[in-house]
Amino acid sequence: MSEPINWAVLGNATIARVCVIPAIQKSGNGRVIALASLNPGRSRELVSQWNIPRLYDRYENALDDPEIDAVYIPLPNHLHHHWTLSALAAGKHVLCEKPLACNAREAREMARTASLSGRLLMEACMYRFHPRSRHIKQMVREGAIGEPCLVHSSFCFLMEPGILAGGADARLQKEKGGGALLDVGCYSVNLARWLFDAEPVRAQGQAVYHPNGVDVHFVGSLSFPGNGLATLEASFISALKQTFTIAGTRGAIELPHDAFIPWEREALFTFRRQDQEKGEIKRFPGSDEYRLMVEHFADAVAGKCRLEIPPEDSIQNMLVLEALADAARTGLTQKLGESS
């Protein structure tokens, strides 16, 4: 059995504190041995809670640590590009939060640098690793719903009114990679491409914009080869919607409002055959999809498997997100494909 890989985490973001650091520390093939925080005083309780032996006050110090094998980057979107390149240059493998970058140009450079450095780079699309998600993917692949023809997904939540009005949050600043489409719509785009196992050829979109210029309410549609259509909703100003449905010629699969983040509770979905109104409920025991993701990444670092989500997949996702954003701004259908 290979030795567990040593992780460093750059930043003290909520996703790191609540989800990924616990997942790594509970994993069977990795451990966090360093946390880098620009405000180390606020991180001392975290490193104590999870027995993290090293606390750095500069990100560069973690990258210079020769005992670090891999870096997890949960920083604001506009910092993904710089710190991924820095980590790769330091010889570290990188698991980077979604979206991988702010645009396809950045994503391509990150992917190219990873390839040249001989290091792995993966976008942290954790939902793909949950047993429920993988079972649905298998059902679609094996023809359980017939020919898939429609995917509808939503990732919407109500941002606190004070945060929304203030506009200082990174998710509300264009120069920091803000906007609902990029922040949470990236899941829906990723999902549609994954379930159709194809790339869209056209994109349309409509949006409501914050005074800062970023979208806070987005509806988009994608056309796939053949009869495939996908619709998506991403919002900072609506009640919680976190679900998806995929329908085919012989049946449909519908999820409750924990589709992307079911935490570790029992997860379920409903499978309806062609003419059924109610259908069959399928249940899955609680699973930590973050732990499954980091264990997969560590296995890939150890050479035991290929990356589930290679950088090329993330580049394609960025191209679609850019097309949707352009469609909303211009009111014009955007074509994807050879010119992308």
Q: What is the pLDDT of residues 49-72, one digit of tens each?
A: 999 999 999 999 999 999 999 999
Beta strands (DSSP E) in the chain are: 5-10, 30-36, 54-56, 70-73, 93-96, 121-123, 148-158, 202-209, 215-223, 229-235, 237-248, 251-254, 267-273, 280-284, 334-335
Question: What are the boundaries of each domain within the chain?
Answer: 5-124, 127-292+318-335
Per-residue pLDDT, 340: 42
Determine the pLDDT at residue 330: 98
pLDDT at position 3:
85
- 338 pLDDT tier (thresholds 50, 70, 90): low
CATH code 3.40.50.720 for 5-124: yes
The answer, yes or no, to whether residue 1 has pLDDT greater than 70, is: no
Amino acid at 18: V
- Options 1.10.10.10, 3.50.50.60, 1.20.1090.10, 3.30.360.10; CATH for 127-292+318-335 is 3.30.360.10
Q: What is the pLDDT of residue 337?
A: 83
Mean pLDDT of 320-340: 90
Distance of CA 73 to the CA centre of its chain: 12
- How many Å apart are CA 69 and CA 92, to the nearest integer? 5
Query: The pTM is what?
Result: 0.96
CA distances from 302 to 121, 196, 298, 305 (A): 14, 30, 6, 8
What percent of the chain is modeled with pLDDT above 70? Answer: 99
pLDDT band at residue 339, thresholds of 50, 70 and 90?
Answer: very low
Q: What's the average model confidence in pLDDT over 238-259?
A: 98
Q: What is the pLDDT of residues 127-165, one digit of tens each?
A: 999 999 999 999 999 999 999 999 999 999 999 999 999
Q: Which residue has the tokens 């259509």?
A: 229
Position 114 pLDDT exceeds 80:
yes
pLDDT(270) > 60: yes
Q: From CA 48, how far away is CA 121, in angstroms rounded?
A: 29
